[in-house]
Amino acid sequence: MPETMELATTINDRERSLRIEPRETLGEVLRDRLGLTGTKISCDAQVCGACTVLVDDLAVSACTYLAIDAESRTVRTVEGLATDGQLSLLQQAFIDHAGFQCGFCTPGMLMTATALLEENPDPSRDEVIHALEGNLCRCTGYAQIIDAVLAAAATGRPVAGATR
């Protein structure tokens, strides 16, 4: 196995090319090599959702997703949701509805909810709950998070920022 490999991918609308070790996860590359620290690493076992990012618009756990698997794909992190300093509709809804407390889970919640609303712009409360099942909140802010997602959906406007 080679010591390093070339990774060419698009992250938050920016083409990136860097050498990585084959064992590196996407979370490690995003945080440690690219400084995108919004992606939180917590469980390293794909059970808490804090590290959720979108790869080709699908929510994935960056803590277990090998970085090399992002080759020639489009990756979106929480840093890519805002556009020109303006928060995305969903980010603003989280603020308006107090959808965060300590904030540790917020990036993963935002990315999971973005994927949901891009696929289903008008989800029911049960569909939001189901979509967020893999995201754990240590502060038990679930009711406000669900309310924020539903409020963003109720506007009828696209929730995405940088890549839409």
CATH 3.10.20.30 domain range(s) in the chain: 5-80
CATH class of 89-154: mainly alpha
| Torsion sign across C-alpha atoms 58, 61, 64, 68 | positive
Where exactly does CATH 1.10.150.120 map onto the chain?
89-154
Two tokens, residue 95: 């603020």
Altogether, the residues listed in the chain come to a count of: 164
- Per-residue pLDDT tens over the stretch 84-124: 999 999 999 999 999 988 999 999 999 999 999 999 999 99
Note the CATH number of domain 5-80.
Answer: 3.10.20.30
Question: pTM (2 decimals)?
Answer: 0.94
Binning pLDDT at 50, 70 and 90, where does residue 37 land?
very high
